[in-house]
Amino acid sequence: MTNELAHKARKVVAIEFDEELYEKLKNKFQSNNKVDIIYGDILNYTPRIPSYCVFSNIPFNITSEILNKFLSDKKNEKMFLIMQYEPFIKYAGNPYGAETLRSMLYKPFFDMDLKYRFDPSDFKPAPQARIVLASFERKQFPDVKKEEEKLYKDFLAYIYTNKGETFFAKIKTLFSSNQIKRVWGQIKIDKTTKISEVPYESILKVFKLFFLYGTDANKQLVVNSFNNMNKQNNKLQKNHRNNSKAKSWNSNRKRKPYHRNNV
């Protein structure tokens, strides 16, 4: 992959976590001034250049960490990732699957496409999971403006974590009674519709109306919802990791330490 990219790109920076493979790559490309080989963890590496593209066969066990890191970096112009199909549809949403909080978070800023479906025989050993080549290309004109971004994230976090079975129940507290009637008349969705069934365009329209006409008091309801949601998720993940480590230690004290796959 590094070799092919070196023929196409002006500059290739390859991050390798496996020390043995790092040495092999370093020796192979030592005379090629278009390629820099760096030993390290991709999650701890941030390109210090105005813009870049990512091309990687990512470790499946840290898919969400990689996607969240690079989709949140405004210097990232586009990504081509060899990844599992299931995580891809969670980030891409429609037309590949139902919209999710993750797809709604990044869809205003990226066009996400499935470029290629691999056959299991393309890999050795053949994987059980479905593997695809996916692209994430930054939109030239994002659907959410810079001044709207923070409120948009808080708005999404609030409606996805708010009580209620339906989309209407989740958003009705953010508008006055007259406003919610007008909002509902514009998006033309049944009041029994669940949030997972609401099109991206409708949620975007509701947010735009909230941004323009929501009162300061109602906007205060959603403030810090995104950060609070992340803190809660991080706490749950930490507890899960601690419980998993305890179980592993009790079941097999001779188990080798965890080692991440290569990027």
In this prediction, residue 232 carries a pLDDT of: 85
Given pLDDT bands bounded at 50, 70 and 90, which one contains residue 238? Answer: low
Least confident of 22-31, 113-122, 151-160, 224-233: 224-233
- The predicted-structure confidence for 133-179, as pLDDT tens digits, reads as follows 999 999 999 999 999 999 999 999 999 999 998 999 999 999 999 99
Ramachandran angles phi, psi of 194, nearest 5°:
-80, 155
Q: How far is CA 167 from each of CA 43, 162, 187, 198, 229, rounded to the nearest angstrom?
A: 35, 10, 12, 8, 19
In this prediction, residue 261 carries a pLDDT of: 38
What sign has the CA pseudo-torsion 151, 157, 160, 164? negative
pTM of the shown model: 0.85
